[in-house]
């Protein structure tokens, strides 16, 4: 499914807004796609201090809290990853 994603971030104190059309297999995957997009923005900025301000899907659905929850999850240890 295709969706419009609008992201508002603060990177080192500067406001950054970015949007675009993205694809997800289903609705439950949209927050993961948004999180990955934000990770890409962090990479582009050299991993400067980044704060998620707002994440909007299709102009009306606010998924900011869901994306922030994904961001705050602990990184799994190598023992938890199955090769």
Q: What is the pLDDT along the chain (83 residues), one digit of tens a residue?
A: 999 999 999 999 999 999 999 999 999 999 999 999 999 999 999 999 999 999 999 999 999 999 999 999 888 777 766 66
How far CA 3 is from CA of 11, 57, 63, in Å, comes to 24, 7, 13
Spatial separation of the C-alpha atoms in residues 50 and 43, rounded to whole Å: 10
pTM of the entire structure?
Answer: 0.87
């Amino acid at each position: 499914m295709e969706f419009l994603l609008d992201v508002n971030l603060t990177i080192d104190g500067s406001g950054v807004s970015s949007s675009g059309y993205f694809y997800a297999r289903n609705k439950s995957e949209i927050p993961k796609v948004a999180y990955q997009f934000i990770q890409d923005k962090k990479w582009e900025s050299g991993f400067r201090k980044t704060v998620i301000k707002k994440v909007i899907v299709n102009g009306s659905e606010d998924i900011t809290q869901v994306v922030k929850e994904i961001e705050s999850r602990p990184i799994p240890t190598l023992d938890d990853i199955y090769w």
